Amino acid sequence: MRYVVLGTAGHIDHGKSTLVKALTGTDPDRLKEEKERGITIDLGFANLDYPEAGLTVGIVDVPGHERLIRNMLAGAGGIDIVMLVVAADEGVMPQSREHLQICELLRISRGLVALTKTDLVEEDWLELVTGEVKDFIRGSFLEGSPIIPVSSKSGKNIELLKEKVKEIAVEVRAKPSGGLFRLPVDRVFTLKGFGTVVTGTALSGMVRAEDAVEILPKGIETRIRGLQSHGKPVKEAFAGQRVALNLQGVEKDELERGDVVVSPRRFLPVSAMDVKLELLAGAPAVKTGSSVHFHLGTSEKVARVILYGRQELKGGESCYAQLRLAGPVVAQGTDRFVIRRFSPLETIGGGSVLDVSPGRRRRAATLEDLEIYERGELKAKLAMKIMKSALKAMGKMELEGWIKAETAEVEKALSQLEEEKTVAPLGESFVHAKVYAGFREAALRLLGRFHSENPLKPGMPLEELRAGLKVDQKVFAGLVPLVPELVQEKDSIRLKSFRAAFSGKEEEVRQKIVKELEAARFQPPEKAELAKGLVMDEKRLTDMLRLMDKEGSVVRINESLYLAASVYGEMLTLLKGFFSRKPGMAVSEFRDVLGTTRKYALPFLEYLDSHKVTMRVGDLRKFLLKD
């Protein structure tokens, strides 16, 4: 089954709702006030079924009054084809023009015209109005579309209109059912025995009963208890369908028109976006920094316009811009939007969403990324976005929510970019090859400088390098193994080509240290005392002792005490001799065997315990080393 959404458009009292009822048998005016006043106030819904074509056309009936354009816009976002309704007794009127402009801004590309109330006019007048309508739609997407004279009262040409709707609908390109599920909410109500229900047109993806969903920007996580489409219970719903979702555990007062039901953990509500902005011919100019009403899907927000590369945009012109919204919305790349003048209210333009996670730009920054987001292929767009994310990296799920496309196509494009080595994978995230190259270059430069300034240190602390590169910890951990010139050793990192080594003068000091520690045997001087005796900076001595420990000429007992390696070997020999005679050793016995004091005996034993040479059992030590 294919699903297509048809929206009505036209001036107030031109018979849109009456025509929908004549076509479908359903009265789209559901509110008491609508029936009393005889005008459409809010969105109404009906459907046309064409079982022989495997087609269902959902109809969104919109209000025609100029004061209700915001309601009209809430229903226009998911429309595939438009039925422009013009009353034969009045002809083209102001809202006919504004509705058509809105449809063009939303890039609706197919439709037809219904001339209503033909039973009220003579044939020659009908010909005159038909000519007027042809002139009116000339140059628009409706040029050349069928113009059907009908009468909802007598039934004239109603069947012909149904057939024309079918002919156009079967040619409409289906919405992406393989994409992420997204449904902008246009109605919220409660059904007794069921709970909260939301309705809308599914823009992409599919959903089943019991699926987990997220409602944004509220951040509400819930499940779908049940679904209906066109008044009938269904187990699953697809892009293009009018859908009612019965939500589990959500109160009606928590939701409102403008919320969006989406696949979980893919979308982030945003309050700024980069766009291609277009003004209608004859629209008043928009200056950078000015405010407008922004309409996307079923949401409406006040937005501040920041123009790129100019201070003013005139009617009929277009440019790149950033919209900073007064509240969060859910959007994807390529979404269409409409803007209306802040005051007085009138439709002045619209455009296409390019980037829903933009940064602030410097004045001299290029707009190359926006050019690619506007005109590039999917693969190029993804590559650019990953590059612009720099060292923050972009996850696959985040990229799927960033752009409106089939998830399979996104995965395919990412795989190709990986094969081409344009991007590098970091678990479920990606970093661009150019960003990796920059990271590699900066890491090598920082480490090279560190080694130059600290020739005795075996490596730079990992956290110090990460902080110097200003990289997220998770991304840093993923990037380090990709750089072949780096060697990570526990919590430090060094260049593969670097080996800490003593200079000629330092080698002389090293030999002095070894001799002094050998002479002191089991009562070595503490580090501060040793530095004083050598007339040496304690920090410099620390670096030397750590390097000597690594090379094996000394053994680090703790931060203050070091033993010569030969003395430590003697300690192990004495222990083996003792434990060959007795199974356990007291601290006093250990002290006497080494001929040292308790001051040294305790840290020595702690070192031996921690290195599993000995093990404390009560007040005694057991020997763990085996020959």
Question: By three-state DSSP, how is residue 594 classified?
Answer: helix
- How big, in percent rounded to 5, are the helix, strand and coil portions of the chain? 35, 30, 35
pLDDT, one tens digit per residue, over 495-529 is 999 887 776 777 888 888 899 999 999 999 999 99
607: number of Cβ within 10 Å: 19
For 208-255, write each residue's pLDDT tens digit.
999 999 999 999 999 999 999 877 899 999 998 889 999 999 999 999
pLDDT at residue 551, rounded to an integer: 82
User: Helix 94-105 and helix 123-137: axis angle, to 10°?
Assistant: 40
CA–CA dist 340, 348 (Å, integer): 5
Does some domain include residue 426? no
Q: 103 and 237 share a domain?
A: no
> For position 546, which CATH number holds?
1.10.10.10
Mean pLDDT of 139-146: 95
Degrees to nearest 5, angle at CA 589 with 586 and 595: 145
Please tell me the total number of residues recorded for the chain in this structure: 627
Residues 137 and 236 in one domain: no
Residue 288, CA atoms < 13 Å, CB-side half-sphere: 11
Q: Is the pLDDT of residue 194 over 90?
A: no
Residue 562, SS3 per DSSP: strand
pLDDT confidence of 533, banded at 50, 70, 90?
confident
Asked if residue 42 is part of any domain, the answer here is: yes
Give the pLDDT confidence of 444-464 residue by residue, as tens digits.
Answer: 999 999 998 888 788 899 999
Q: How confident is the model at residue 472 (pLDDT cuts 50, 70, 90)?
A: confident
Instruction: Tell whether 282 is covered by a domain.
Output: yes
Would you state the pLDDT for residue 160? Answer: 97
464 domain residue, yes or no: no
β-strand 312-313 against 286-287: which pairing, if any? Answer: antiparallel
Task: Kindly report the pTM of this predicted structure.
Answer: 0.79
DSSP at 524: P
Cα torsion through 527, 532, 537, 543, rounded to 10: -30
Mean pLDDT estimate for the chain: 90
Name the burial class of residue 577, with classes exposed (0-12), middle (13-18) and buried (19+) by CB atoms within 10 angstroms of its CB: exposed
321 shares its domain with 392: no
Place of tokens 């110090």: 464
**Backbone torsions φ then ψ of 314, nearest 5 degrees:** -95, 165
Residues 194 and 240 in one domain: yes
Which residue among 107, 139, 169 closes a domain? 169
- The mean pLDDT value for 136-140 works out to 95
Query: Does residue 256 belong to any structural domain of this protein?
Result: yes
Is pLDDT of 64 > 70? no
Residues 216, 100 share a domain: no
Domain encompassing residue 62: 2-169
258 and 292 both lie in a single domain: no
Pair (402, 543) in one structural domain: no
Pair (330, 389) in one structural domain: no
Task: Look up residue 19 and give its two tokens.
Answer: 């025509």
Q: Does the bond joining 344 to the residue before it have cis omega, within 30 degrees of 0?
A: yes
Answer yes or no: is 443 within a domain: no
3-class secondary structure, 25: coil
Q: Averaged over 132-158, what is the pLDDT?
A: 95
Integer Cα distance of 202 and 205 in angstroms: 7
- Residue 453 located in a structural domain: no
513 domain residue, yes or no: yes
Say which range, 174-183, 263-272, 399-408, has the weakest mean pLDDT: 174-183
Report residue 28's pLDDT band, with 50, 70 and 90 as the boundaries. low
Give CA–CA dist 126/122, Å, rounded. Answer: 6
What band does 63 get if pLDDT is binned at 50, 70 and 90? Answer: low
CA atoms of 535 and 513, how far apart (whole Å): 12
CA gap 465, 491 in Å, rounded: 11
Residue 453, classed as helix, strand or coil, is helix
CATH number (domain holding residue 320): 2.40.30.10
- Closest by CA to 274, choosing from 298, 307, 316, is 307
- 115/6 same-domain check: yes
283 and 156 in a common domain: no
DSSP letter at 38? T
Asked if the model's pLDDT at residue 68 lies above 60, the reply is no
Average pLDDT over residues 350-375: 88
Q: How far is CA 314 from CA 140, 274, 350, in A?
A: 21, 19, 13
Do 149 and 12 lie in one domain? The reply is: yes
Total structural domains in the chain?
Answer: 5
Verify that 524 and 582 share a domain, yes or no.
Answer: yes
Give the DSSP H or E segment for 126.
helix 123-137
Residue pair 355/323 in contact (Cβ under 8 Å)? The answer is no
Characterize the bridge pairing of strands 110-116 and 81-87. Answer: parallel
- SS3 assignment, position 127: helix
Which one, of 126, 69, 13, 50, lies nearest residue 350 by Cα?
69
Task: Classify residue 210 as exposed, middle or buried by CB count within 10 Å of its CB (0-12, 13-18, 19+).
Answer: exposed
Q: What is the model's pLDDT at position 34?
A: 41
Listed residues 144, 169, 194: the one ending a domain: 169
Which CATH number does the domain housing residue 15 bear? 3.40.50.300
Per the CB < 8 A criterion, the answer to whether 177 and 142 are in contact is no
- From residue 405, how far is each of 110, 201, 237, 327, 450 by CA, in Å? 21, 17, 18, 25, 46
* Euclidean distance between CA atoms 74 and 57, whole angstroms: 18
Judged against a pLDDT cut of 50, whether residue 492 lies above it is answered with yes
Model pLDDT, residue 348: 95
Beta bridge partners of 623: 614
Pick from 169, 190, 212: which residue ends a domain?
169
Q: What is the pLDDT of residues 555-586, one digit of tens each?
A: 999 999 999 999 999 999 999 999 999 999 99
pLDDT given for residue 72 in this prediction: 65
**Which strand (E) or helix (H) includes residue 413?**
helix 407-419
Quick one: what percent of the chain has pLDDT higher than 70?
Answer: 95
Task: Decide if 393 contacts 425 (C-beta within 8 A).
Answer: no
Q: Quote the pLDDT of residue 67.
A: 52
**Position 41 pLDDT exceeds 90:** no
Distance between CA atoms of 422 and 434, rounded to whole angstroms?
A: 8
pLDDT for res 463: 94
